[in-house]
Structure 1
Amino acid sequence: MAYKALYRTYRPNSFEEVAGQEHVVKTLQHAVEQNKIAHAYLFCGPRGTGKTSIAKIFAKMVNCESKDHRPCGECENCKAVVNGTHPDIIEIDAASNNGVEEVRNLIEKVKYAPLKGRYKVYIIDEVHMMSAGAFNALLKTIEEPPAHVIFILATTEPHKVLPTIISRCQRFDFTKVPDSDIINRLHTILEAEHITCEDEVIRIIAQLADGGLRDALSILDQCIAYAQDNIEVHHINEIYGITTVPEKLELLDQIFDKKALELMDKIDYLINKGIDIKRLTNDLIEILKETIIFEYTKEAKLLHVLNSDEALGIIQKVSIKKRFDMISLLMETYDKYRTAANASSYFEVCLLKMLDLAASTEQVVQVQQIQQQPVIQKQPEKAVEQQTNVSRETFVPKQEAPKPQLFVPEDDPYEEEVQPTFFEEEPMPIKAPVHHENKKAQPIDDEYILGLLAGANKPEKASDLENFKHIEEYTINLKWAKFANLIKHGKIVGAGSNYIVLAVDNQAEANQINELDSNNELCAFLQELLKKSKKIFAISAEQNKRVIGAFKERMVNGTLPDPIRVESVIVNNEETREKTQEEIVLDLFGKDNITVMEE
């Protein structure tokens, strides 16, 4: 007997053996159980995802003689479908039978009753290949077929099917089979064939199949023919001209380290080895893309080609901007392969351009090191929020390695989402100066603000923000208008049990607020506004951005200062007594600006 390919040998005979497509399987099973079988179905999706196989299983199911479990696989109808000899299951290839005459012959046979089963099932594969005349000839029959006829149309290009045909069918969109399902299916087949295979080989096959189980079985078939009973990684690499991940990383390292001679030798070696240049180009794009995703998310589960250590190694060597530029070069080169007479030359030029990009990055770094000036990198609020919320179990960078930085456009520094995650517990007191001296106010030191933010907590901030919303009500109150107008345009960026950190537009405003607070002139108003006695520490918008950036970086590094505990503020009840109207006017306009006139 002639050899039978794996994808034919292990074609599923029941819905339980189908890999993926749960939404299609369940719908068809329920339709048969409830006797709600439609007259026409359209199966569309990528190649090798089970369209024809499910169509045959469904045809077997509707004609099965069993009442309990369908398809049973034991009755005459089931066996005839498996053997391909059932007279009522007609499979038509529309690619070679796409004319009007073929369709008219089909229509003539439709009216006859089934010979063996309950239904005549017409499975028309690649239906999009039918001509417009053939579609129109089939249209009326599909709309009102005899009760004993079911049409199943299968296609990989549903957009080429007439809308009038699609509207008369129940449409099922098949998805790519997940890699996990392909791997499980391959393990089952290898066990049945008594063949040993490395797990890495199965993973590579699933990746090459790109969601098509039939393609995966064809690749496995070829590997078995080449390696016999023991398949190893180098076998599949030799068959399909695939480079290993270490080889690709070595190629990128030579680019990042500006080793031009080693790079050209490596390219010559790979070309002589017969590797697929297009596939290698695409693989390099995937590797660089994964490093960018990992840098933003810090989620190892999103890595499919690299592991976290490999991704971090690339992140530490080259900036994210340079990696984006390298991806653009690779994608442009990949597009040129279609018209290239010699793809390897294009590939070599592309890698040399990438090497030039890496060299320019090094020059910038050297200039910064020579100048020895502090460089504050502007980080995106949303991307850094993801960085600050990362579980340390998911991503723990090595302490001796420099930490990667994100270079992206600047967002609103007061945006609520960028607030760092603070300690929820009351901070422990430390020996630190309390900023409430009765002196001319000066800008508050960044390190002191970092200590305040380290001791802040979200519940306090949420409560203060809710109360702060009512500040406009105090701007028309003669008693509180002066203070309310002074701080109403500020933004609370941190709050502890007895203090708040307020960001305002400029340093002059911040100094004025801090001076009033140091003289305890704002205590009564803050108690009225926030429903709690608190001190206020004002900083400028510029200092706020600088401190928030430093806070996030030092929190990742684990170098935040200890939380600062601020002394509680005691409001003097005598000072908060109800002032007379004359005292309110004097406070509001100043004694020198009022002239008292007697009548």
Structure 2
Amino acid sequence: MSYQALYRVFRSQSFAEVVGQKHVTTTLKNAIQKNKISHAYLFNGPRGTGKTSIAKIFAKAINCTERTDGEPCNKCETCISITNGTNSDVIEIDAASNNGVDEIRNIRDKVKYAPGESTYKVYIIDEVHMLTTGAFNALLKTLEEPPAHAIFILATTEPHKIPATIISRCQRFDFKAISVTDITDHLAYVCDTEGIKYHEEALSFIATTAEGGMRDALSILDQAIAFGADELTLEHVLSVTGSVGRNDFLELTNYIVEHDIQSAFKLYHRLLSEGKEVTRLVNDLIYFLRDVIMDYAAGEKSDAQIYQLDVSLLYEMIDKINDTLVSMRFAVNTNVHFEVLIVKLAELVKRSNVHSTPRNVVQADTSHLEKRILQLEKQVANGIQSAPVKTAKPKKEAKRSKNAFSMRQIETVLDHANREDLNYLKQNWHTLIHHVESEGQKSLVSLLKNSEPVAASSTHVLIKFDEEIHCDMVNNDEAKREQIESIVYTIIQKQVKMVGVPGSQWLQVRHDYLENRKHPKQEEKPVEDDIVTQAAKLFGKDTINIIE
């Protein structure tokens, strides 16, 4: 094969060439210089961060005949043979496909033989966490008492799957994800070496997409170069990765802020028709909002609609997107989830009251009230008694008190409640929940799991709900209430009417009910009676004719 992938061509051949793992390379170089080489090492870290590359460099450095300052010369026969993979004393094993006991026993039998052409025998076991329990047990004895000429280097991305007895016999090195800056600089070096023209934003986007892996970054770069031929641009990178550019996200968020759902859907479907992946689209949207927040922090705002929102609202939007991302992992049709996300974000912005329209409405209401106050002040100054102004209660509060629970219904239950019916219902409440689960009624399961009967009679049941929305659902959704009542009937064989009370207010409601029973409130005298009495005193009883 005449062509080699970039990640193979630019694979590090010395500790100095390794990018982003200085804490590992410095330690290994110093150990080689001071001749303090351990018999076993564990390299742990994300994919594509240089674990196997450093393992081979280390194998070359300890066997190099002309090394300087712990670095291999890459010119002697030993270094060249290890680089080409022809050295019989450096054995690289893929534990993903050789994970059985027999393969490890074969290593254990051969490790006792002296190296043929090098100073040390080096066994590099990649993806070591894939070994079976029996294979780990077979490897354990060799790691505990290895021959003086044998060195084991274990590489893994999941160290938590390795037995502690193995880890305790190794020197552990934790590789870190490579920073975006380091990846960008290395990609620029690769492009300059290959003679490829590039745009800085294209390399930055590749570095961000790679998520800390140099191998992934070089693979994307290789693919983008093949797509763009003469020059590497951001559009080429977006095309090969299936990502969405900043301009598209600015347009999408403009529609969301303006509550133009139809245009947002059209843009989204256009992106799908261009081959964009929904999951990557959601991830890129999070990164886009992250960049907007960073611009806020740096004081670099633009005229786009998204920059007119408060930072706190951007945090809420990211939370909504994260929730959607979790839901999409278990969804069959992910496209619908993103469409719902667009609607949710638009409603979130609409409720935030950050646009100029809501502010103008508030100002108009305030000016109207100011005029009314001035008018009343004039009337008072002139000695004119103004008619009593009826102040209507806010509709929201009236709704809340109505929707939460009905005190009259609760009193009806408590007036006839008894301990026997309540105990019987409590004993069968878990049976009721298991029955609903077996019927596959998930909405009812979530509703009833956070509930508890607190009072019962032969005709009524009072249920305490942890969530006020569940209480509201039982009290005001007749269909849902009748459905639960029919299930209760199948369990306790009694036709009862269900009433809900919020758990946060149950103690206060119970206290008020008991106080009212101890000290009943006297009925207030109707206002009409007072008017009749006053009229009788002024005009006499005979002149008054009361009409109902």
Q: TM-score, normalised by structure 2?
A: 0.63
- Structure 1 residues 236 and 291, CA, compared in 2 at 3 Å: closer, same or farther? closer
User: Does the 8 A contact of 2:67 with 2:73 survive in 1?
Assistant: no
How well do the aligned residues superpose, as a CA RMSD in angstroms? Answer: 1.9
Aligned to 1:269: 270
Partner of 1:324: 315
* C-alpha contact (below 8 Å) 2:95/2:126 kept by paired residues: yes
Map of 1:14 onto structure 2: 14
State whether residues 91 and 124 of structure 1, in contact with CA within 8 Å, keep that contact through their aligned partners in structure 2: yes
Determine the C-alpha separation between the residues in 1 that align with 2:305 and 2:177.
31
- What is residue 150 of structure 2 aligned with on the other side? 149
TM-score scaled by length of structure 1:
0.58
Partner of 1:129: 130
Q: What is the rounded CA distance, in whole Å, between the counterparts of 1:67 and 1:338 in structure 2?
A: 51
Q: Give the deviation of 1:149 after TM superposition.
A: 0.7
Letter of the 2:325 counterpart:
Y
User: 1:285 touches 1:327 (CA, 8 Å); kept in 2?
Assistant: yes
Give yes or no for the alignment of 1:309 onto 2:301: yes
Aligned counterparts, 1:501-512, within 5 A: none
Cα separation, 1, equivalents of 2:118 and 2:310: 67
CA distance in 1, matches of 2:305, 2:290: 11
Q: Which runs of 5+ in 2 are unaligned?
A: 368-548
Deviation at 1:372, TM superposition (A): 4.2
Tell me how far 1:293 sits from its aligned partner.
5.9
> CA offsets per residue over residues 385-420 of structure 1, 9 Å max, x none?
xxxxxxxxxxxxxxxxxxxxxxxxxxxxxxxxxxxx
Equivalent residue, structure 2, for 1:37: 37
Shift of 1:355: 1.2
- Shift of the 315–343 alpha-carbon distance from structure 1 to 2, 3 Å rule, reads closer
- How do 1:26-65 and structure 2 match up within 5 A? 26-65=26-65
Contact residue 330 and residue 350 of structure 1 kept, 8 A: yes
Q: Indicate the residue corresponding to 1:219 in structure 2.
A: 220
Deviation at 1:324, TM superposition (A): 3.2
Deviations 1:134-159 (A, max 9, x none): 11111111011111111000000000
Q: Does the 8 Å contact 1:240/1:276 carry over to 2?
A: no
CA–CA distance in 1 between the matches of 2:4 and 2:293?
A: 45
Query: Per-residue displacement from partner, 1:337-378 (whole Å, max 9, x unpaired)?
Result: 2232322221112111211222223475344332348xxxxx
Alignment gaps of 5+ in structure 1 = 301-307, 374-599
**Paired amino acid for 2:68:** D
Superposed displacement of residue 286, structure 1: 2.9
Q: Is the 8 A contact 1:243 1:275 kept in 2?
A: yes
- 1:151 & 1:241 partners in 2: Cα distance? 40
Asked if the contact 1:291/1:314 (under 8 Å) is kept, the reply is no
Partner of 1:586 in structure 2?
Answer: none
Residue pair 1:183, 1:206 contacting (<8 A) in 2 also: yes
- Quote the Cα distance in structure 2 between the aligned partners of 1:320 and 1:226: 38
3-state SS of paired residue (2:301): helix
Secondary structure of 2:329's aligned partner? helix
Name the residue aligned to 1:191: 192
* Deviation of 1:99 (Å): 0.9
Instruction: Find the residue that maps to 1:309 and give its secondary structure.
Output: coil
Q: Take 1:365 and 1:286, find their aligned partners in 2: how far apart are those partners? A: 31
Task: Tell me the alpha carbon deviations over residues 78-99 of structure 1, each in whole angstroms, 9 at most, x when there is no partner.
Answer: 1111111111101011111111
Q: Name the structure with the higher helix share.
A: 2
Give the number of aligned pairs.
Answer: 363
Correspondence for 2:440:
none
What CA distance in whole angstroms lies between the structure 2 residues aligned with 1:107 and 1:341?
Answer: 48
What are the equivalent positions in structure 2 for 1:135-534 lying under 5 Å apart? 135-292=136-293, 295=296, 298-299=297-298, 308-310=300-302, 317-362=308-353, 364-372=358-366
Residues 227/315 of structure 1: CA separation in 2 closer, same or farther (3 Å cut): closer
- Equivalence for 1:92: 93
Residue number in structure 2 paired with 1:420: none
- CA change 1:184–1:368 in 2 (3 A) is same
| Cα-to-partner distance string for 1:116-170 (whole Å, 9 max, x where unaligned) | 1110000000000001111111111101111111100000000000100000000
Q: 2:73 aligns to what?
A: 72
1:316 Cα shift? 5.3
Partner SS for 1:200: helix
Supply the distance in 1 between the matched residues of 2:67 and 2:159 (Cα, whole angstroms).
Answer: 35
- Greater displacement, 189-198 / 58-67: 189-198
Contact 2:321 2:341 in 1 (8 A): yes
